[in-house]
Amino acid sequence: MTSKLLLGGIAVLALCGAAASPASAQDWNYDHPYTDYDGYSHTMALSQMSDAADRIDNIAVEVPSGDYAGEVRSVRTNFIGEPTRVGIRLRDNRWVWVDAIDMRYDPAHRVLRSSLSLGQLEDMSI
């Protein structure tokens, strides 16, 4: 009886993969295409940045597809210095004001990522 339990336990471990070696960091692909903010920890909310107005001024803005949308030209902040709105000059030279909550900063690529599509930004533009 004991030998059957032991063999059964070993079979379960082998089937569950417990005996397999753990994946190394090289096996993981961290360079995912940008589609949304939910699963990407490499971006940060503008409210998390103490000097957001200075750091994002004049940087490129990308839309979820990864396409270039324009550049940050102005940042409005609240009384404690958190960005509330971002003024963007779109690639066709029109302007749009976007709520800061719809934007995230990617420090690795020094780019601002919008949760809004290019079409949405253009529809909102002046």
Q: Give the pLDDT means over successive 10-residue stretches in the chain (126 positions).
A: 49 45 37 42 79 87 94 92 93 94 91 94 90
Task: Indicate whether 22 belongs to any domain.
Answer: no
- Within a 10 A sphere around the Cβ of 15, how many other Cβ atoms? 9
The per-residue pLDDT for 61 is 95
The per-residue pLDDT for 44 is 86
- Distance (Å, whole) CA 98 – CA 79: 18
Please tell me the total count of domains within the chain. Answer: 1
Give the CATH number, domain containing residue 103.
2.30.30.240
Task: Indicate whether 101 belongs to any domain.
Answer: yes
- Distance (Å, whole) CA 43 – CA 125: 25
Task: Indicate whether 94 belongs to any domain.
Answer: yes
Of the candidates 28, 62, 44, 26, the residue with the CA atom closest to the CA atom of residue 108: 44
- Distance (Å, whole) CA 12 – CA 73: 60
What amino acid is encoded at 48 in this protein? Q
Q: pTM (2 decimals)?
A: 0.65
The residue segments making up the domain with residue 77 are: 44-124
